[in-house]
Amino acid sequence: MQILLNGINAGLDYAFVAIWDWGAAGIGAGTAIAEWAALGFGLILVRGGLGTHAGLFDRAKLTALFNANRDIMIRTLALLLTFAWFVNSGARQGTAALAGNQVLLQFIAVSAFVLDAFAFVAEKEAGAAYGARDGVRLKRAMRVTSEIALVCGAGFSLVFWIAGGAVIEGFIADPAAREAALAYLPWCAAVPVIGVAAWQLDGLFLGTTQGPAVRNAALLATSAYLVSDMLLAPAFANAGVWAAFLLSYVYRAGALAIYWPRLMQRMGTNAAPG
């Protein structure tokens, strides 16, 4: 399906733009046609199995699915608000701080992409263990993936601390922005280590389909972060902006950890670490 989608998209984009000179409208049309073609092909592939799986359209199960997606969407919006607020708060400290913060955010993005892999493994293993009501397996999976993630997070922090300055020197031409990024690099370097608990617990509760817990924790953590930034940023300028941002990861981990005993209780397992 992906090959079909990309092939049609590329072919139509070339025809509409390079041959018929439709410009941006041609790119949009090519993409839309390719998406619908892929959808049609996908329906053809699954048509034989739809009739034998009436449970797919079970109202209660569909409601549960939509509720889970609603909770995840709210959680995602809360996290997006955190990052948007961080950028906006940095902008209030001046253009140099804003530019420096944006570069440092790219460091965090790179580490998050890698460390999210361990959260995905935790999510998968937690889901399997939850389905089997195997608390021992769940705790073992969380312990192993979290230990590896913590080591990798510490590695990222060390690399940022040692080599981050050279990267900043090479990528930022403006002296003021470069100075701002270098000044707050230590704050950025702390994120991979501090964020591990939040990312791992996120994977745990997503994998066990604990939508309300994920939603409520995200809302609580974001609210606490906003209050922290409102208090710290005016008092400590960009250092306060970063302090509040680091606290947001602590809030996320703490808010999710509140639901750990309840999850273990549902599985009939002691909440103590395995």
Query: How do residues 179-222 score in pLDDT, each as one tens digit?
Result: 999 999 999 999 999 999 999 999 999 999 999 999 999 999 99
Look at residues 244, 252, 251 and name the one whose alpha carbon lies nearest to residue 204.
252
Whole-prediction pTM: 0.80
Q: Is 117 exposed, middle or buried (0-12, 13-18, 19+ CB in 10 A)?
A: middle
Asked whether residue 57 carries a pLDDT value surpassing 90, the answer given is no
Angle between helices 211-257 and 185-207 (to 10 degrees): 130
For 200, phi then psi, to 5°, come to -65, -45
**Cα gap 155→162, rounded to integer Å:** 11
* Residue 193 contacts residue 159 (beta carbons within 8 Å): no
pLDDT digits (tens, 9 = 90+) for 18-34: 889 888 888 889 999 99
pLDDT digits (tens, 9 = 90+) for 28-53: 899 999 999 999 998 888 876 666 56
- Could you tell me how many residues make up the chain? 274
pLDDT of residue 155: 97
